[in-house]
Amino acid sequence: MPAARLPASRIPLLPATERMAAVALLALCLAAWAAGLAGGFQYDDLPNIVLDPATAGGEALRERLANGFRPLLRLSYVADHALWGFDGTGFLATNLALHAATVLAVWRLALGRLADPLAAFLAAALFALQPAHAAVVSFASGRSTGLMTLGLVLALLAHEHAWREGLDRARRAVFVALSLVAFALAVSAKEVALIYPLMLMVWESTRTDATAGRIARRMAGPAFAALAGAALLWTFGPRLRELAGYSLALADPLEALARHAAALPLSLALWLRPWALSVEHPAPSADAMLPGALALVGLLLAALALRRRWPLATLGLLWPLAILAPTHTLIARLDWVVEKPLYPAWIGPALALGALLATWLRRPGRAVPGLVLLAALAATCAWRAATWADPAALWREATERAPQSARAWHNRALAESAAGRDAEARRSIDMALALDADAPRTQALALAISLAADETPSPNVPSRSPSP
């Protein structure tokens, strides 16, 4: 009797095919993001890395590690400094390597969840080729989010192995322990990783065979670890309390909730609007609060409606909300529309879209459009990486997106001055002064630009509300 044939979508990957898929994903990462390696340090990199004595190690590092704030992130900077000195390209190469490792981890996660090699490959490719990732991959200070995300995905992978059917108790305990270790490492890169239990709840509750008892049993350990970790960070980590005080000084929790309701849909929409990406975004108006809140409620209702018919769609819709909710509800931020937090939030949508795209590509005549799509995404990522590699272009774009931002004009002037574009730098710093004439940093930069050009500051300062 001939052996039964498995459907094409259920044939396990052969080792050689796995290697080819992994190499293809790494090639996509390199093709899409290599342009960012031409960049260097800029913006937050200066206080976070270059001017921080802890980056070179020694007593400053020991003091920094003693406060318990993001020790893994700090150690990664020290390792880069030991390898590259203060060469920004080396730090960016590490970011790219972390992104490639995260892409491979997402691929392995998708293989288990989707049980479809093509869908898993496409899910990983879509994650790799999201243009909004430039704020993490092509920005040295984006390291905290990239390192945290890799830890969270590895924790979820170990969790998946721990709860495989037929696994004996001893091996299950090993994988559970590995999952908790990866979770702890993610928290040591960025404390936002404490959202792991929420991420796990969405992951487990969108399975076709999910039950309340099974979800509670699988979440108990991570939930307890998250609560314990949060208590330890709050008790022994003064930096976390400082950040909480800073957030409350920006806005009270209810005001923050209202502003996030307006801003979060705008942030999520950046996934589909790469032409709107920027290092600086304007704050949403008060009129956007109600439409934004209705959009979020619509996403929740759609996720619930699709729960039984297509649980992967529910995963794709709920995942970003679970990832972003803790830091985009009651906690005020200096920047309301942001790109870096979108990095881990894209994993769930990438898995759902990978499955959908695989179904579409299996129809006759769809292979070429699929390749064109991946090529277009890779080209868009290369454009974003190249923009981040050029500080003058990056901040010129920022002033176009947010023309009323004094910070954007200040940083544009700084980048133009560093590039030797003195006339452009003077115009940009005048715009920054027009928007915020009392900012000490802007005044100091204006004086420095004027002295560098061997001129006195211009007495003709534009009005405080210049046209874009």
Mean pLDDT (whole number) for 293-312: 94
Task: For residues 170 and 222, give the distance between their C-alpha atoms in angstroms, rounded to a whole number.
Answer: 18
Please check the confidence at residue 180 and state whether its pLDDT lies above 90: yes
Q: Are 190 and 138 in contact (CB under 8 A)?
A: no
Please check the confidence at residue 52 and state whether its pLDDT lies above 50: yes
Lowest mean pLDDT among 7-16, 112-121, 259-268: 7-16
Each residue of 425-468: pLDDT tens digit? 999 999 999 999 888 988 899 888 888 765 544 444 333 333 33
* pTM (two decimals): 0.92
Q: Are 65 and 71 in contact (CB under 8 A)?
A: yes
Mean pLDDT (whole number) for 191-205: 95
Residue 210: how many other CB atoms lie within 10 Å:
15
SS (H, E, C) the chain: CCCCCCCHHHCCCCHHHHHHHHHHHHHHHHHHHHHHHHCCCCCCHHHHHHCCHHHHCHHHHHHHHHCCCCHHHHHHHHHHHHHHCCCHHHHHHHHHHHHHHHHHHHHHHHHHHHCCHHHHHHHHHHHHCCHHHHHHHCCHHHHHHHHHHHHHHHHHHHHHHHCCCCCCHHHHHHHHHHHHHHHHHHHHHCHHHHHHHHHHHHHHHCCCCCCHHHHHHHHHHHHHHHHHHHHHHHHHCHHHHHHHHHHHHHCCHHHHHHHHHHHHHHHHHHHHCHHHCCCCCCCCCHHHHHHHHHHHHHHHHHHHHCCCCCHHHHHHHHHHHHHHHHHCCCCCCCCCCCCCCHHHHCHHHHHHHHHHHHHHHCCCCCHHHHHHHHHHHHHHHHHHHHHHHCHHHHHHHHHHHCCCCHHHHHHHHHHHHHCCCHHHHHHHHHHHHHHCCCCHHHHHHHHHHHHHCCCCCCCCCCCCCCCC
Where does the pLDDT of residue 4 fall: very low under 50, low under 70, confident under 90, or very high at 90 and above? very low
Average pLDDT score, the chain: 90
**Percent with pLDDT over 90 in the chain:** 75
Residue 426, both tokens: 């003077």
Mean pLDDT (whole number) for 315-330: 93
What local confidence, expressed as pLDDT, does residue 452 receive? 78
Where does the pLDDT of residue 3 fall: very low under 50, low under 70, confident under 90, or very high at 90 and above? very low
Query: Which of 77-81, 238-242, 251-255, 420-424 has the largest mean confidence?
Result: 77-81
